[in-house]
Structure 1
Amino acid sequence: MPNNRSGTLLLAVIACLLWSTAFVGVKVGLRYAGPFAFAGQRFMLSGLLLLPFWWARRPNRSTVCSHGGMILSVALFQTFILYGLFYFGMTLIPGALAAMVIGASPLVTAVLAHYCMPGDRLSAIKGSSLLLGGIGVAVLSLSRQPWVSASGLVELAGIGVLLLANVAGALGNILVARHRTKIDPVFLNSAQLFIGGLGLWLLSLLLEVQPAEIVPWSYYAALGWLAFLSAAAFSIWFILLRRPGVRVSELNLWKFLIPVCGALFSWLLLPEEEPSLWPFAGMLCIAAAIVLFNLQSVRTRRD
């Protein structure tokens, strides 16, 4: 059991590190395409990338039909709504700030899991660690002083859009965890990514002007990397959510790593973004939340 737990934690950290690189890639891609078109292309490609990994053990038609509602529900919350809001929000705020706001997702997930998942209740220590992490995200967000200018109000709206994306992602996680069926999680991920991406791309045809000029190689590099990380990270996450004994709130706590690493990558790779004192203070709160939670977990296992 300890080895299984260690493996779960390692895979969770790997998935979160992959996700933390997305903010840079999204910012690069949005220079040349609308948010819904870029998101749709990314997730359709992600779904196709996973095809070789489940085709040999593909489910039959009756199995797909019996789980069709669940697949569509996951695609709706986990890709279409979550990433429709995420990409739109990314057009309003810097990549580093977006990484920090998305860092509130463990808090949102834990609260929803408390009410939707039997046996996944908030303890005092877990609640305190999540609150500390939420304070870290609040410090990071408010340090931008969004109320002092019109651009600041746009950023505040972007923060609100990304918080709604957190709710959609949390509901998607709960859907996957509650339906512990025999359907292959890699197939589930591939199907929901492609369906959600197709919906976003079709939405872009209605709402966005398609680029006429030839886009540079950096666009395709960002698109390829984002497609890969979605295929890899979501497959890892869906597998972990299906493991016996894995709680949605505990697993999602590791997503507090995403704002820290995402902001660091944005500062290092995007020349228009740079760090300041308050973001570091927020990061310290997030790091303390992770340490506090895991110290309590270690004590529980020893007892």
Structure 2
Amino acid sequence: MTAPLRVGVIGCANIAVRRMLPAFAASPDIEVVAVASRDPDKARRVADSFDCRAVHGYAELLARDDIHAVYVPLPAAVRPRWVEAALRTNKHVLAEKPISTEYACTRDLFELAASRGLVLMENVMFVHHRRHAAVRRLLADGALGELRSFYAAFTIPPLADSDIRYRPELGGGALMDVGIYPLRAALHLLGPELDIIGASLTQGTGRQVDTSGAALLCTPGGVTAQITFGMEHTYRSAYELRGSEGSLTVDRAFTPPAEDVPVISLHRGAKAEEIRLEPHDQVAATVAAFAAAARAGTPPDTSDTLRQSELLSRMIQIAARSEHTAWGIAQDLKTSA
């Protein structure tokens, strides 16, 4: 029997405590060894809940030789520093999304991981849900005819004023927090040649970060993708694909509960059909994929993550150059591509 992957957690973020640590603890492929925090009392409370060791300080956790991999849920602005530090101590890394807020930094971190034979994986969990594989099969089988367009939205209600996602020095903002989901869905379903036509980011009243945004993208074959996102809105998590002969819709697309019955709504002419699938736990599936890759020493395909990082950077550039008009002009960005 293969020994479990021994994992340490760098930071006690909400997503770590609420979602990832329970998934690690439930996985036969993972043994949680330690949890680190700059606050020793917080580390102790979290560690006691998951029957592991508490460590005061991130560097102290990385110095342990009984840990093979780490999970890094730190804020986006400080995440790259500790991802790099973990790789330089020869530990596999599962990092929250995005791995960094800059394309060059993300590329360099993947190159560092590859040079050391290590797995670096971004924690985009919805791509591991079986429902999206089923959507891909429907598209490949021609269920919609020739694909024409894609639309995706991920919006969440306002956060507490103290939430770190409102803090620019920590890499906050809607694009990096929720915009990454519809953008990744577009790449996942339409392919890496997807490119940006225009983008807009809006800063909410009294905020220092972008609180909403939108982008228009297009494939070389002319399939358009419109994405919208925001973090001071009513909740919405969905995408829609339209073709020459039909359309399909996926609701609760990005963060479905494990017990949720996945549904794909398919429309062809006057006929409507609900394709219902078995429940699937995308958090557990992500943990299993990371453990398998780390134990095999075989990194997952990073092309979508790198393209996503590149497009995120370009969206920021386009939005800045457009001076908050409705759409930036992609042609204005060609020289910086």
Same-fold call, TM cutoff 0.5: no
> What TM-score comes out, normalization by structure 1 length?
0.23
User: Which of structures 1 and 2 has the larger relative contact order (alpha carbons within 8 angstroms, sep 6+)?
Assistant: 1
> What TM-score comes out, normalization by structure 2 length?
0.21
Whose strand fraction is larger, Structure 1's or Structure 2's? Answer: 2
Whose helix fraction is larger, Structure 1's or Structure 2's? Answer: 1
Name the larger-Rg structure. 2
